[in-house]
Structure 1
């Protein structure tokens, strides 16, 4: 589905995904600098037909997140890898501290971190292979 979403429809979808509240057609047109409300309306209709967006009283909202490697975190859309990266950076800081102050603890900590990263990586690869087989 993500591959099918291109051009203006993709811009509108990503815009709606970032919004905290429902947004109307004219606001979408204005914020995305599109030439007319009818263009927005046309693409919104396509997004509704695809089951990605729905109309509510105050405007339009995203009903389905289709960006595979991204997640919605509050009102932001962030790459999934941001969580692993923050874990790795935190682990590195802790590891440096342990190497300086408690060398033996650093070995155990390193082993635990590598184990956790391995589990996460194996899970991610298995999930992607499973999706690949279903295509």
Structure 2
């Protein structure tokens, strides 16, 4: 589904995904600098048909998040890789400290970190392969 969203429809979807509350057509038009409300309306209808957006009293909201490599935190979209990068960076700092102060502990710590990263990678590859098979 994520691959099917392109152009203006994708821009509107991402915009709605970042909002904390329902948004009306004219606000979407203004904030995305689109030429007319009818363009927004057209794309909103397509998003509703796809089951991604619904209309509520105050405007439109996202009902289904399809960006699988992102996590929504408040109104921000954060790539999942940020969490792995943070884990690796903090592990590197700890490893440098251990190499300097406790060399044997550094070996054990390295093994644990490599094991964790391997399990995360195997899980991610399996999940993506399973999704690919279902297409």
* 2:110 matches 1:110: yes
Q: What's 1:5 paired with?
A: 5
DSSP 3-state at the match of 1:71 = strand
* 2:65 matches 1:65: yes
Deviations 1:42-97 (A, max 9, x none): 11111011000011122111111111322212221111111111110111111111
Equivalences for 1:47-58 in 2 at 5 Å? Answer: 47-58=47-58
After superposition, the CA RMSD in angstroms is 1.0
> Where in structure 1 do 4 or more consecutive aligned residues deviate above 4 Å?
none
* 2:76 matches 1:76: yes
| Deviation larger for 22-31 or 62-71 | 62-71
TM-score by length of 2: 0.95
Which runs of 5 or more structure 2 residues have no equivalent in the other structure? Answer: none
Equivalences for 1:90-129 in 2 at 5 Å? Answer: 90-129=90-129
CA distance in 2: counterparts of 1:76 and 1:11, whole angstroms: 15
Q: What's 1:87 paired with?
A: 87
Which runs of 5 or more structure 1 residues have no equivalent in the other structure? Answer: none
Q: How many residues align?
A: 135
